[in-house]
Amino acid sequence: MESLGLFILVILIFFQRTAAPAPDEITWTYTGLVGQSEWSEHFPDCGGTSQSPVDVITTQTKYDPSLIPVTPLGYSQHGNKPFTLYNNGHTAFIELPEWMGLGGLPWLFTAVQMHLHWGSGGPSHGGSEHTINGLSADAELHVVHYNSELYPNMSAAMTQRDGLAVLGILIVTGEETNPAYNNILNYLSRIRHADQKILIPAFDVQSLLPKDLSRYYRYNGSLTTPPCHQSVTWTLFHERVQISKEQLLKMETILYSSKADELDRMLLQDNYRATQPLNHRVIFTSFSAESGKELSSGEVTAIVIGVMCGCVGLAVIVRFIVKTIRFFKLLHLETVVVNSSTSSWDVLPSNRPAPMPRIKEPEKAKEKKQDMALSSTSEAEKKEEPSPSPQTEP
Ligand SMILES: *[C@@H]1O[C@H](CO)[C@@H](O)[C@H](O)[C@H]1NC(C)=O
Ligand SMILES: *[C@@H]1O[C@H](CO)[C@@H](O)[C@H](O)[C@H]1NC(C)=O
């Protein structure tokens, strides 16, 4: 139990966010005066019970065989009309043409925009909004759609339970450059300040998504920024996409959350919301659990193995101490003849009592009685022996 507590503490410290001051002009921010914990005072939905993002605990997800692959519609037919890339002080987003949509859901959804969330500390220092088993990715792409079968536009749909569908793509850092992401990253230097927008060449939006669109997590949640409406059917892909360290660095260091005419320049960093309580919700998976696949990251494995070793070690020590104490108590109560070796004495040779001389014939009766005492204590020990590997929550 102590190891489990320590494990949680280590995780908490590991994911503690670094605070950055917030500019006054922008009504809400991630840290500062109207930071995440204050959002609900100004935007009531942010204090709701079905908020996003969430931590996906893979052992607590539920396989739903009816979840078919999501199908991007027209993502690759971008046409000749340029996209608009916009720095709104919270993120960089691209408005999407209305012929792009999403299938594979109970209704047809129309694409609206896509945007990114990132951190500030480079690879393996957080940045994604959703986490898997407590672990962040380095960044996250969101492609936002509204239910165009039931609602006339985004603003009408965003307040409705079944109004929005958002694709979540976890982004990690690796060796290779991801050319698809350069379609966005190469232009960030031209929208460095909040409120700036430019036209960029249209590109294949599907190339930003992972290849496997059939394996995903599905749950009911919210917008991850104010007004946090609980109107989103979330699809978080199991497969993550990879960008290079240089690409991540661009994302993290080029943009400002402050406007061009503001004297105090504020870097636009750590624009991700903390994970929210799942409450009554269930996260469904479109794929059946393959044991430990989600836990395959080196770090998680190392932590889990470390905790296991710690628990086993602790159990061994506790068992040893209990046994030793019990023996000393017995020794105190009556003189016990130790004529058979026990593990306790073996590991504590300096405390081993001097062997008693072999008992002679006349004392046979007494020896018998003591033998019985010994055997009954070892019997009791066997029963009370703690299991060598105590149950731990992975
Ligand atoms: C969205 O649709 C509603 C309802 O038809 C309408 O009142 C509103 O003006 C529309 N908003 C936009 C931005 O088009
Ligand atoms: C989301 O909520 C709707 C309406 O309450 C429900 O029918 C649906 O099963 C939920 N979906 C998930 C993935 O929990």
- Split at pLDDT 50, 70, 90, the class of 16 is very low
- Give the Cα separation of 251 and 263 in Å (integer): 22
Res 387: pLDDT: 46
Domains in the chain: ranges and CATH: 45-273 (3.10.200.10)
> What's the rounded mean pLDDT across residues 377-387?
45
Ligand 2 pocket: which of 220, 232, 278 to mutate (most atoms within 8 A of CB): 220
Res 183: pLDDT: 97
For residue 92, how many C-alpha atoms fall within 13 Å in the half-sphere facing its CB?
34
Query: What pTM value is reported for the model?
Result: 0.70
Q: Is 285 in the pocket of ligand 2 (CB under 6 A)?
A: no
From the list 90, 115, 117, 130, the catalytic residue is: 90
Q: Cα(228) to centroid of ligand 1, in Å?
A: 19
Inter-axis angle of helices 2-14 and 298-333, nearest 10 = 150
Which ligand sits closest to the CA of 61?
2
CA 9 to chain CA centroid, Å, is: 15
Res 311: pLDDT: 72
Q: Is 284 in the pocket of ligand 2 (CB under 6 A)?
A: yes
Can you tell me whether residue 375 is helix, strand or coil?
A: helix
pLDDT tens digits, residue range 114-173?
999 999 999 999 999 999 999 999 999 999 999 999 999 999 999 999 999 999 999 999
Which atom of ligand 2 is nearest to 64's Cα? Answer: 13
Strands of the 135-136 sheet, one edge to the other = 55-56, 131-132, 135-136
Q: Cα(367) to centroid of ligand 2, in Å?
A: 74
Determine if residue 210 is left, alpha or beta; phi over 0 gives left, psi from -120 to 50 gives alpha, anything else beta. Answer: beta
Q: Is 155 in the pocket of ligand 1 (CB under 6 A)?
A: yes
For all residues of the chain together, what is the average pLDDT?
Answer: 82
Q: Cα(151) to centroid of ligand 1, in Å?
A: 9
Which ligand sits closest to the CA of 157?
1
Which of the listed ranges 43-47, 285-289, 388-392 does the model predict with the highest average pLDDT? 43-47
Which residues have C-beta within 8 Å of that of residue 352, sequence separation ≥ 6?
A: 338, 345
pLDDT tens digits, residue range 234-245?
999 999 999 999
pLDDT of residue 179 exceeding 90, the answer is: yes
> What's the rounded mean pLDDT across residues 304-317?
77
Q: Cα(87) to centroid of ligand 2, in Å?
A: 33
Cα 5 to Cα 1, 10, 387, 393: the distances in Å are 6, 9, 20, 11
Q: Is 219 in the pocket of ligand 2 (CB under 6 A)?
A: yes
List the beta bridge partners of residue 94. 85, 114
pLDDT of residue 15 exceeding 50, the answer is: no
Q: Is 98 in the pocket of ligand 1 (CB under 6 A)?
A: no
Res 315: pLDDT: 81
Res 91: pLDDT: 97
Res 104: pLDDT: 97
Can you tell me whether residue 253 is helix, strand or coil?
A: helix
> What's the rounded mean pLDDT across residues 98-102?
96
Res 381: pLDDT: 44
pLDDT of residue 294 exceeding 70, the answer is: no
Catalytic residue at 90?
yes
Res 334: pLDDT: 56
Which ligand sits closest to the CA of 148?
1
More confident residue, 300 or 75: 75
- Split at pLDDT 50, 70, 90, the class of 5 is low
Q: Percent of the chain beyond pLDDT 70?
A: 73
